[in-house]
């Protein structure tokens, strides 16, 4: 069994791994599909698992623990395997796929999540062929099949240069109001600043694999005892990687484990 580490350590490992492996693949439009290019170009992009089978056993995603795959035109692949982050090198041909050496973090999650991850990794590493359209990627191999949908591009233009103020913390089915003033601002130069409600946040941000990531994050200052849990929760979500949803003037960031920061207001 993989050793258990803190959720904060795990999320930093995933963020660092994704930033290092997927940055090159994320420099362009997240969902540019050009079937007229080099062999395998139609599979290049960011994908999220929708269904699958391993030796006739169904592989069903668990809400809050996405299994994702990013295939880069530079010969890299990576993503999140429900619990852990992974990445390595890949060779894409004309409908063929060969995954090379890869690394994976060692977070211990709930048994059902780890079972899903084991099946996903087994299927992924056994896949040898693919079919791809703008709406779907299917990987196949001996006794395995994985069906992915494209990950929507992060709306960077709407995120950057805006002062966001947080209203609600989401932990599974539980929503709680923010105490104090928690803020976030992303700047065009890749830096950010904000607050957990008691400590000041600074660092760097980027978009990779269809998510918002903070590979560099520092928290300065002290928290009153009643704000310590909120401080840790906000940082855990930002250490994501976080999916982004903007609805009008409201921003929601969601991280693995069914946690999130909702109702950021412009």
pLDDT digits (tens, 9 = 90+) for 156-204: 888 999 999 999 999 988 999 999 999 999 999 999 999 999 999 999 9
**Domain contains 1:** no
**Domain contains 81:** yes
Q: What is the pLDDT of residue 119?
A: 94
Q: Say yes or no: 77 and 198 in one domain.
A: no
Q: Say yes or no: 128 and 167 in one domain.
A: no
**Domain contains 187:** yes
Q: What is the pLDDT of residue 208?
A: 76
Phi-psi region of 190 (alpha: psi -120 to 50; beta: other; left: phi over 0): left
Q: Say yes or no: 116 and 14 in one domain.
A: yes
Q: What is the pLDDT of residue 107?
A: 78
Q: Say yes or no: 101 and 212 in one domain.
A: no
Q: Which of 56-70, 71-85, 151-165, 222-236 reaches the highest mean pLDDT?
A: 222-236
Beta bridge partners of 62: 65
Q: Say yes or no: 186 and 102 in one domain.
A: no
- Rounded CA-CA distance 183/264 in Å is 8
**Domain contains 191:** yes
Mean pLDDT of the chain, nearest integer: 84
Q: Say yes or no: 45 and 140 in one domain.
A: yes
User: 116: domain range?
Assistant: 7-150
**Domain contains 255:** yes
**Domain contains 206:** yes
Helices (H), 127-257: 156-159, 228-238
Q: Say yes or no: 173 and 44 in one domain.
A: no
Stretch 136-158: mean pLDDT: 92
| Total of domains in the chain | 2
Domain C-terminal end among 96, 124, 150: 150
Q: What is the pLDDT of residue 108?
A: 82
Residue with tokens 């999130």: 260
Give the other-Cβ count within 10 Å of 95's Cβ.
15
Q: Would you state the structure tokens that stand for residue 19, as one six-digit string?
A: 């930033």
Stretch 113-122: mean pLDDT: 94
Q: Say yes or no: 16 and 117 in one domain.
A: yes
Q: What is the pLDDT of residue 14?
A: 45
- Rounded CA-CA distance 201/112 in Å is 34
Q: Say yes or no: 173 and 76 in one domain.
A: no
Q: Which of 52-56, 84-88, 193-197 reaches the highest mean pLDDT?
A: 193-197
Does the structure show a pLDDT above 50 at 153? yes
**Domain contains 2:** no
Phi-psi region of 205 (alpha: psi -120 to 50; beta: other; left: phi over 0): beta
Percent of the chain with pLDDT over 90: 58
Q: Say yes or no: 162 and 218 in one domain.
A: yes
3-class DSSP assignment, residue 61: coil
Give the other-Cβ count within 10 Å of 62's Cβ.
17
Domain C-terminal end among 124, 150, 176: 150
Q: Binning pLDDT at 50, 70 and 90, where does residue 21 land?
A: very low
Q: Say yes or no: 145 and 179 in one domain.
A: no
Q: What is the pLDDT of residue 83?
A: 87
Q: Would you state the structure tokens that stand for residue 33, as one six-digit string?
A: 């599909």
- Rounded CA-CA distance 38/34 in Å is 9
Beta bridge partners of 96: 129
Does the structure show a pLDDT above 80 at 214? yes
H or E segment to which residue 266 belongs: none
Here the CATH number for the domain that contains residue 29 is 2.40.128.270
DSSP 23-64: HHHHSS-TT---TTSSTTGGG-EEEEEEEEEETTEE---BTT
Q: What is the pLDDT of residue 41?
A: 80
**Domain contains 18:** yes
Helices (H) and strands (E) in the chain, counts: 4, 19
Asked if residues 30 and 133 have their Cβ atoms less than 8 Å apart, the reply is no
Phi-psi region of 56 (alpha: psi -120 to 50; beta: other; left: phi over 0): left
Does the structure show a pLDDT above 90 at 261? yes
**CA–CA distance from 177 to each of 38, 40, 166, 180 (Å)?**
50, 47, 9, 10
Q: Say yes or no: 142 and 177 in one domain.
A: no
Domain C-terminal end among 109, 130, 150: 150
């Amino acid at each position: 069994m993989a050793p258990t580490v803190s959720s904060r350590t795990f999320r930093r490992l995933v963020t660092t791994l994704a930033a290092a492996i997927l940055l090159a693949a994320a420099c362009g439009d997240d969902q540019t599909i050009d079937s007229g290019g080099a062999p395998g170009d139609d599979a290049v992009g960011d994908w999220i698992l929708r269904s699958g089978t391993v030796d006739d056993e169904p592989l069903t995603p668990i809400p809050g623990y996405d299994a994702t795959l990013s295939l880069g035109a530079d010969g890299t692949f990576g993503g999140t395997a429900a619990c852990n982050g992974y990445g390595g090198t890949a060779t894409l041909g004309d409908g063929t796929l060969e995954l090379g050496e890869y690394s994976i973090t060692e977070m211990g999650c709930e048994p059902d999540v780890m079972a899903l991850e084991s099946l996903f990794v087994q299927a992924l590493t056994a896949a040898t062929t693919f079919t791809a359209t703008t709406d779907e990627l299917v990987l196949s191999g001996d006794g395995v099949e994985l069906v992915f949908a494209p990950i929507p591009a992060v709306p960077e233009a709407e995120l950057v240069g805006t002062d966001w103020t947080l209203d609600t913390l989401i932990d599974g089915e539980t929503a709680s109001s923010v105490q104090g003033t928690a803020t976030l601002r992303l700047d065009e130069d890749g830096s950010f600043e904000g607050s957990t409600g008691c400590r000041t946040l600074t660092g760097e941000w980027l978009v990779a694999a269809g998510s918002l990531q903070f590979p560099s994050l520092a928290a300065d200052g002290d928290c009153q005892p009643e704000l310590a849990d909120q401080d840790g929760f906000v940082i855990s979500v930002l250490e994501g990687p976080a999916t982004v949803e903007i609805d009008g003037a409201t921003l929601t960031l969601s991280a693995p484990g069914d946690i999130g920061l909702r109702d950021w207001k412009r």
